[in-house]
Amino acid sequence: AVVLEPSTDLVAWNAAYEALSRPTGLLDADPPNLLRYLFLDPRARPLYRDRPAVARELVAGLRAATTQCSSSSELDHLVGELSVHSDDFARLWAEHEVEVRRRGVERLTHPVVGDLDLLADVLVLSDPGDRRIVTYLPASERSNAALDALSTTTTRTGIHTTLLRVVAGTGDENVCGSNEPRRRFRFDGRVALVPGRARKPRTHTVGHCCCRCRRRTPCPADLPPETRSVSPSPQLPRLR
């Protein structure tokens, strides 16, 4: 699973996505960005078996994001950069196609395990920034076996990953469509950013709430020490 900004910056991902994407070079940038990788990085060309369709889909999604957030300098800068450096992007951008993907199949030729077919589901998060979480599942038995092999290879080579790795943001940006600054909170010791009031970061273990989760019960971190009860965090399903 991976969390994306409207600009297709990757802001968080889990261990399975790390194992899948690290060998492709997608995660080498800081922050990683799907559009820049697809149009400007030569390593992306052999990765996507249906690259023209993926390119059209991502550009249409970016067009939809700029329609919803017309005042974003970040999106304007990204469009200008890609238009200058990629003729393919400039051609697709000029077509003015608008589309927000919800579901699809990604067909990859992975540099380590070969051909992969992955079912992708997209959920738009309910915050002013319109972030999306994309989850992937194998679309075939062969892809399932390949992902298992990839996970085993990653573990053997000593790459250590946590449940959610967050890489982007400084805590002082504004969310598209909102005048509120982003607030920091932590997943398993790593900082994430969500819309809300600026305040001192708190550490929450995975499975507990943050201040934006709309729980019916108070957050454990906000309770007085004498009233807190310690309960184990729920077991989360393994994502491939």
Q: How many CA atoms lie within 13 A of 212 on its CB side?
A: 18
| pLDDT at residue 127, rounded to an integer | 66
| pLDDT at residue 171, rounded to an integer | 42
Tens of pLDDT along 5-43? Answer: 999 999 999 999 999 999 999 999 999 999 999 999 999
pLDDT band at 101 (very low <50, low <70, confident <90, very high): confident
Range among 31-45, 99-113, 183-197 rated most confident: 31-45
Predicted TM-score (pTM) of the model is 0.67
What percent of the chain lies above the pLDDT cut of 70? 62
Q: Quote the radius of gyration of the chain (alpha carbons, Å).
A: 19
| pLDDT at residue 9, rounded to an integer | 95
Tens of pLDDT along 113-155? Answer: 999 999 999 998 876 667 899 999 999 999 999 999 988 776 5
- Whole-number Å distance between alpha carbons of 68 and 70: 6
Q: In what order do the strands lie in the sheet with 10-13?
A: 103-110, 114-124, 132-138, 2-4, 10-13, 165-166
- Whole-number Å distance between alpha carbons of 72 and 175: 9
Tens of pLDDT along 46-71? Answer: 999 999 999 999 999 999 888 877 66
Q: What is the dihedral of CA 178, 183, 186, 190, to 10 degrees?
A: 80
Residue 148 identity (one-letter amino acid): D
| pLDDT at residue 210, rounded to an integer | 42
Q: What mean pLDDT value characterizes the chain?
A: 74
| pLDDT at residue 237, rounded to an integer | 52
- Whole-number Å distance between alpha carbons of 71 and 52: 29
Mean pLDDT in residue range 96-102: 86
